[in-house]
């Protein structure tokens, strides 16, 4: 069975990082809250990769979507996500996001359209409980990512399981917009 996903920095270390394309999922969890940001970046045709203590820079175009999980107690929920503090922001306005309000009043916000980065992008090295995974461009990659988000939204972000499944389906529906020609 082919490898479907792997920790990004391990894949680089083991020379198993696909240069012809893949999908990188990175998480940013708040320390004392369930406030969470996920970033999904697709890439292809990597010219080079530079790694340092802070992260990994890909000399490649990338397409990004964001997922924001906001607890009901978040005090700045009225502020547009692009205008929040650095560790709480994503580059979108409310009207650029699919927004789900769960029964427990948690909100999940998902980019409607990807943001394209030209030339290069950087993935920050994960710290604390944050992570970065690379998903390989296999035929069932979107199904694998759906299952991944079902589990992480439920276990890590505290979204009820049924609503984590619904949000993951929406994420999966948006993922094809990240496609490059692999």
Determine the length of the chain: 182
**Tens digit of each residue's pLDDT (9 = 90 or more) over 51-106:** 998 899 999 999 999 999 999 999 999 999 999 999 999 999 999 999 999 999 99
* pLDDT of res. 160: 92
* Model pTM score: 0.93
Q: What average pLDDT score do residues 138-160 get?
A: 92
pLDDT at 19 over 90: no
Determine the average pLDDT of the residues in 152-159. 90
Higher pLDDT, 179 or 176: 176
102-123 pLDDT, tens digit each: 999 999 999 999 999 999 999 9
Per-residue exposure over 128-140, b if at least 16 CB sit within 10 Å of its own CB, e if not: eeebbbbbbbeee
pLDDT of residue 180 exceeding 70: no
What is the structure's pLDDT at 12?
94
Contacts of 38 (CB under 8 A, 6+ apart): 25, 26, 27, 28, 66, 67, 68, 69, 149, 152
- 3-state class (DSSP) for residue 75: coil
The C-alpha atoms of residue 93 and residue 20 are separated, in whole angstroms, by 32
pLDDT in tens, 30-57: 888 889 999 999 998 899 999 998 899 9
Q: What was the pLDDT predicted at 9?
A: 95
Does residue 133 or residue 30 have the better pLDDT? 133
What local confidence, expressed as pLDDT, does residue 71 receive?
95
Cβ–Cβ < 8 Å for 140, 125: no
Give the pLDDT of residue 182: 38
């Amino acid at each position: 069975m082919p490898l479907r996903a792997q920790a990004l920095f391990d894949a680089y270390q083991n020379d198993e990082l696909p240069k012809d394309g893949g999908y990188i999922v990175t998480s940013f969890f708040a320390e004392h809250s369930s406030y969470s940001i996920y970033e999904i970046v697709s890439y292809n045709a990597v010219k080079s990769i530079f790694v340092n203590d802070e992260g990994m820079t890909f000399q490649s175009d990338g397409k990004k979507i964001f997922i924001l999980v906001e607890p009901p107690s978040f005090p700045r929920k009225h502020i547009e996500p692009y205008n929040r503090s650095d560790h709480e922001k994503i580059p979108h306005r409310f009207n650029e996001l699919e927004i789900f309000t769960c029964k427990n009043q948690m909100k999940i916000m998902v980019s409607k359209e990807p943001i394209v980065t030209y030339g290069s992008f950087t993935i920050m090295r994960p710290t604390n409980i944050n992570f970065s995974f690379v998903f390989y461009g296999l035929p069932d990659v979107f199904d694998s990512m759906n299952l991944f988000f079902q589990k992480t939204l439920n276990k890590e972000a505290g979204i009820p399981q049924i609503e984590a499944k619904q949000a993951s389906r929406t994420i999966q529906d948006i993922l094809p917009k990240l496609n490059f020609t692999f």
